[in-house]
Amino acid sequence: MEDIVLLGCSGSIGLQTIDVCYKQNDFHIVGVSLNSKIDVLEEQLKYLPYLKWVAIESKDSYLAFKNKHPEYICLNSTNCSLELLKAAKYTKVVNSIVGFNGLLPSILSLQLNKILCLANKESLVIGGDLIKEELKKGHGKLYPIDSEHVALAKLLKNVNREEISKMIITASGGSLRDYPLDKFNQISVEDVLNHPTWNMGKRITIDSSTMVNKGFEFIEASYLFDFDIENIDVLINDESLVHSALLFKDHSYLFEVGPSDMRVPISYALNETRRVNMDFKEVDFNKKCSINFRKFDYDRYPLFSLVLDTFKLKGTAMAFFNGVDEQAIKYFLEKKINFVELIDFIKSTIKNDMILISDPSIENLIYVDKKAREIVDNKLKGK
Ligand code: MG
């Protein structure tokens, strides 16, 4: 039995983690954190029999929950996940916080020598060097919960790395993969949120449509597997059944194929790279089943190359990029800017307003994230 702290319990990965822990019964979730959605937590309580600590960011939600549930130790502060990590007793952390807010909890988890199951890819995208530093010092362990990276970790077991010529990260193509390019100015928020193969949170669904998410995954893979980003490629698989691939020097491939269900990667991370029984349907190749690939269309996803170019600037470049992306998406979701304006806005802001500090400390990253958001607000307020 292992005690788990789940950060970001009310989001998509959070809910699926609760499901995996409840069914596998080897993992006891003893602490959760969330922003404000206590109605979602309320629904989950029956699947959280070992819960003791509840950290809630919003003061109103905290007070409402605490009054109704005196049986839990309730915490409330602006970064209540950090408080929870320090207060609770546990061995593993699942970090499924969305965006920049996941970075500090990831670093603290490692500093506290915990096993970190990481769904928050921004931790590596923005603070990859700081995370690697902690791991190098022997603080904690890290297992990714991103479907592509779990696939790559599986593929990399028992292969000779010297024989690999490329790592291939697959993509679904996102919600706009078939949308006519000449009609992009008509794209609605609803079009973008309608993902063809995965059911995910709003920010990542939008980042999938622009392929910012895929660019982030390249960076994530390069940190996780010490692999040169120049030797990583992307390939679109329509069905999201191929989760990634390796191409070898003799031109043969290894593909990782499985259901498009995030509970598989969650379980693999929680079990520290052990495969265990899952209770849902396998991919049945006896029935009609096809696997189709298509070439990555760089015109359709201009932000993809921008992510990779920005990453090359090092320092605080990705903190700036992420801050701009996260904040601008809020305006898109509120329908204050349209999709084409969102893309153009991100492009021009990265080009003209970049704040670059080399060898950044955590304080530098926090500063640049805050500044990036202020720049977006100043430019878009009144929209
Ligand atoms: Mg992914």
Whole-model pTM over 0.75: yes
Give me the mean pLDDT over the 5-15 stretch: 96
Measured from the Cβ of residue 137, the count of other Cβ atoms closer than 10 Å reads 10
C-alpha of residue 217 to centroid of ligand 1, in Å: 7
> Residue 65 pLDDT > 90, yes or no?
yes
C-alpha of residue 277 to centroid of ligand 1, in Å: 22
Which DSSP symbol is given to 77? S
C-alpha of residue 154 to centroid of ligand 1, in Å: 15
Q: 289 versus 298: which is more confidently predicted? A: 298
First-to-last CA distance in the chain?
A: 52
Identity of residue 133: E
Share the mean pLDDT of the chain: 95
- When computed from its CA atoms, the radius of gyration of the chain, rounded to whole angstroms, is 20
C-alpha of residue 345 to centroid of ligand 1, in Å: 24
Pairing outcome for strands 92-95 and 115-118: parallel
What is the distance between the alpha carbons of residues 90 and 31, in angstroms, rounded to a whole number?
A: 8
State the Cα angle at 265 between 247 and 91, rounded to 5°.
Answer: 125
Instruction: Find all residues with CB under 8 Å of 178, minimum gap 6, and list them.
Output: none
C-alpha of residue 16 to centroid of ligand 1, in Å: 15
Percent of the chain surpassing pLDDT 70: 100
C-alpha of residue 198 to centroid of ligand 1, in Å: 10
Instruction: Say how many CA atoms lie within 13 Å of 138 toward its Cβ.
Output: 0
C-alpha of residue 170 to centroid of ligand 1, in Å: 9
C-alpha of residue 349 to centroid of ligand 1, in Å: 26
What is the distance between the alpha carbons of residues 216 and 21, in angstroms, rounded to a whole number?
A: 27
C-alpha of residue 81 to centroid of ligand 1, in Å: 23
Give me the mean pLDDT over the 281-296 stretch: 85
- Binning pLDDT at 50, 70 and 90, where does residue 69 land? very high
Give me the mean pLDDT over the 335-355 stretch: 97
C-alpha of residue 341 to centroid of ligand 1, in Å: 25
> Residue 112 pLDDT > 80, yes or no?
yes
Give me the mean pLDDT over the 303-313 stretch: 97
What is the distance between the alpha carbons of residues 216 and 121, in angstroms, rounded to a whole number?
A: 7
Q: Which residues pair with 171 in a beta bridge?
A: 236
Copy the structure tokens of residue 111: 């500093």
Give me the mean pLDDT over the 44-64 stretch: 98
Give me the mean pLDDT over the 134-147 stretch: 97
- Binning pLDDT at 50, 70 and 90, where does residue 197 land? confident
C-alpha of residue 50 to centroid of ligand 1, in Å: 30
> Residue 196 pLDDT > 80, yes or no?
no
Using one digit for the tens of pLDDT, what is the confidence trace for 236-253?
999 999 999 999 999 999
What is the distance between the alpha carbons of residues 326 and 372, in angstroms, rounded to a whole number?
A: 10
Copy the structure tokens of residue 47: 């699947």
Using one digit for the tens of pLDDT, what is the confidence trace for 319-333?
999 999 999 999 999
Q: What is the pLDDT of residue 201?
A: 81
- Which residues are placed with Cβ below 5 angstroms of ligand 1, an ion? 146-148
Q: What is the pLDDT of residue 204?
A: 87
State the Cα angle at 321 between 320 and 322, rounded to 5°.
Answer: 95
What is the distance between the alpha carbons of residues 325 and 125, in angstroms, rounded to a whole number?
A: 13
Instruction: Find all residues with CB under 8 Å of 13, minimum gap 6, and list them.
Output: 94, 96, 119, 145, 201, 262, 266
C-alpha of residue 144 to centroid of ligand 1, in Å: 10
Percent of the chain surpassing pLDDT 90: 87
C-alpha of residue 96 to centroid of ligand 1, in Å: 13
C-alpha of residue 146 to centroid of ligand 1, in Å: 5
- Binning pLDDT at 50, 70 and 90, where does residue 357 land? very high
Cα→Cα distances 37→34, 94, 103, 242, 263, Å: 7, 18, 21, 33, 22
Q: What is the pLDDT of residue 198?
A: 72
What is the distance between the alpha carbons of residues 127 and 121, in angstroms, rounded to a whole number?
A: 10
Cα→Cα distances 27→23, 33, 114, 229, 270, Å: 9, 17, 15, 35, 8
- Binning pLDDT at 50, 70 and 90, where does residue 79 land? confident
C-alpha of residue 216 to centroid of ligand 1, in Å: 9
C-alpha of residue 75 to centroid of ligand 1, in Å: 31
C-alpha of residue 147 to centroid of ligand 1, in Å: 5
Closest CA to 93 of 125, 139, 35: 139
Give me the mean pLDDT over the 217-226 stretch: 98
Q: What is the pLDDT of residue 45?
A: 98
How are the residues of the chain apportioned to helix, strand and coil, as percentages rounded to the nearest 5? Answer: 50, 15, 35
Q: Is 38 helix (H, G, I), strand (E, B) or coil?
A: helix
Q: What is the pLDDT of residue 195?
A: 79
